[in-house]
Structure 1
Amino acid sequence: MIVCTNFAPATGPMLRDVFGVEPPTGAWKPEIWPGDPAPIVRADATGRRECLMATFGLVPRSRHVHGAKDFEMMNVRAEYVGDKRGSCSAWHRTQLCVVPALAIYEPCYVAGQGWVRYRIWLPDEPAIGVAGLWRQWPDGSYSFAMFTVSAPGHAVMKLMHTPGKEKRSVVMIPRLQWDAWLACRDPELARSFMTLYPAEKMMATPAPLAPMPAEEPGTTDVDSPSR
């Protein structure tokens, strides 16, 4: 199951005021989908935060080798990140980042209505810092994915996606832990950050887009084709 394939990224002013970084050059869309460029925050060689543009999807379609399995990896399961071909190298190098977001979007099946897109955000915080993993390509460009964890009992995330199927959530790092996350260089210690954000501190409201497909979007596994 792919959890989050659509989110609203932080704006330039918010990157400066909330995340304490200079926005990268270039423009990004108000809503990000797989394959779109978006700002991410990581620690530079001196340990300071820096912001750069990266493509959403750890292995973008443009990087697929002819004949290779077609996957993008927008989400990386925290439980298996060190074992998967597409993510293990970046994980063991602790190439961690924070994905600055205003909100994430998830599909929710509503009886009598079908699939409805929901906007999920933190009403008491100016932005969300989603735990991410980045990688660099030979041409100097970057890509990223979001970490996910199991969420069967989470009051908000258990409502998303197909009823009766596995429930998962992106990992939202509390603001006071951003620097500790970015500075972490021990993969096992990094796992301690992989927790669920308190449901009572989250808000979810309908945010319809275009009519959803007949089948739930993004039902393939993390290292499988996304669409």
Structure 2
Amino acid sequence: MCVNYLPASREELENDFNAPVQGEFDWKAETWQDYPAPIIIGQEGRRKAVVGLYSMIPKAHIPPGVKRFSTMNARAESIDTLRSYAKHWREGRLCLVPMTRFFEPNYESGSPVRWKIAMADASPFAVAGLYRTWEEPDGTESFSFTQITINAEDHPLMRRFHKPGAEKRSLVIVPAGDYDHWLECRDSERARTYLRHYPVELMAAMPAPKDASKKSENAVNQSLFG
């Protein structure tokens, strides 16, 4: 499962996704659990970007006394039964999570190495997500979201990640031509037909250690996207 990614910029949201940001919001260059980040939702046949917290149930909304639990990733196999997601899945609260790359651990060397996964042409892309709204104490509305994952045992690239012996999982990269179909889908069974793997030949991956120097990172970028 993915726990960290680089979200699209305001400019990329407008130019690459045709989804202008609603309101004056900022977000960090890297997104982790409970961080604010942009998502794209459909509204009256048009796309718009809003900012939500990366966790379907953010820490601030976990009841007192309840141990913190992760809702950053929703398994496609149980998204319609788990209480954290089922109601919103049935209501068709589908979103796109725009990004430029996400990160996964690779254990092929015997130790976990952080890898980046992106598009082969370095273009921004979006993965399938589910969102919900919250009524805040001051009466305002806020958003939160999760990314949907599928089994990756048969995907040539995504099966290379996660601990040995653990189930291989992958985010669902949505083809650009399906963006609006996904956002406008309100039939949960039809929505499942979009939860499929992205062609490996259109993807790229490369080691990207978290403590890499800027020089090393630039070298990786050049190798990955040059």
- In the alignment, the residues of structure 1 paired with residue 108 and residue 196 of structure 2 have an alpha-carbon distance, to the nearest angstrom, of 27
- In the alignment, the residues of structure 2 paired with residue 178 and residue 95 of structure 1 have an alpha-carbon distance, to the nearest angstrom, of 14
User: Secondary structure, in 3 states, of the residue corresponding to 1:137?
Assistant: strand
Paired amino acid for 2:128: A
- Deviates further, 68-77 or 190-199: 68-77
Gaps of 5+ in 1: 212-227
- In the alignment, the residues of structure 2 paired with residue 162 and residue 129 of structure 1 have an alpha-carbon distance, to the nearest angstrom, of 25
Cα deviation for residue 110 of structure 1 reads: 3.3
Cα deviation for residue 70 of structure 1 reads: 2.5
Cα deviation for residue 207 of structure 1 reads: 0.7
- In the alignment, the residues of structure 2 paired with residue 168 and residue 86 of structure 1 have an alpha-carbon distance, to the nearest angstrom, of 19
Is 1:154 aligned with 2:151?
Answer: no
Is 1:191 aligned with 2:192?
Answer: yes
Q: Paired residue for 1:122? A: 119
Q: Specify which structure has the bigger relative contact order, considering alpha-carbon pairs within 8 angstroms and separated by 6 or more residues.
A: 1
Residues 20-61 of structure 1: CA distance to partner in whole angstroms, max 9, x if unpaired? Answer: 0112422111110001000000011x1211110000000111
- In the alignment, the residues of structure 2 paired with residue 69 and residue 199 of structure 1 have an alpha-carbon distance, to the nearest angstrom, of 38
Paired amino acid for 1:170: L
Cα deviation for residue 198 of structure 1 reads: 1.3
Cα deviation for residue 72 of structure 1 reads: 3.0
Q: Paired residue for 2:146? A: 145
- In the alignment, the residues of structure 1 paired with residue 59 and residue 123 of structure 2 have an alpha-carbon distance, to the nearest angstrom, of 32
Cα deviation for residue 125 of structure 1 reads: 5.8
Alpha-carbon RMSD across the aligned residues, in angstroms, is 1.4
| Higher helix content, 1 or 2 | 2
- In the alignment, the residues of structure 1 paired with residue 135 and residue 70 of structure 2 have an alpha-carbon distance, to the nearest angstrom, of 18
Paired amino acid for 2:32: W
- In the alignment, the residues of structure 1 paired with residue 38 and residue 16 of structure 2 have an alpha-carbon distance, to the nearest angstrom, of 14
Q: Paired residue for 2:40? A: 41
Is 1:15 aligned with 2:16?
Answer: no
Gaps of 5+ in 2: 213-226
TM-score normalised by L of structure 2 = 0.88
- Could you tell me which of 81, 84, 96 is aligned with 1:83? 81
- In the alignment, the residues of structure 2 paired with residue 142 and residue 108 of structure 1 have an alpha-carbon distance, to the nearest angstrom, of 32
Q: Is the 8 A contact 1:60 1:143 kept in 2?
A: yes
User: Secondary structure, in 3 states, of the residue corresponding to 2:135?
Assistant: coil
Q: Is the 8 A contact 2:100 2:122 kept in 1?
A: no
Q: Is the 8 A contact 1:61 1:72 kept in 2?
A: no
Cα deviation for residue 67 of structure 1 reads: 2.7
User: Secondary structure, in 3 states, of the residue corresponding to 1:34?
Assistant: coil
TM-score normalised by L of structure 1 = 0.88
May I ask how many residue pairs the two structures share in their alignment? 207
Paired amino acid for 2:167: E
User: Secondary structure, in 3 states, of the residue corresponding to 1:110?
Assistant: coil
> Deviation above 6 Å: which 4+ runs of structure 1?
none
Paired amino acid for 1:75: N
User: Secondary structure, in 3 states, of the residue corresponding to 2:53?
Assistant: strand
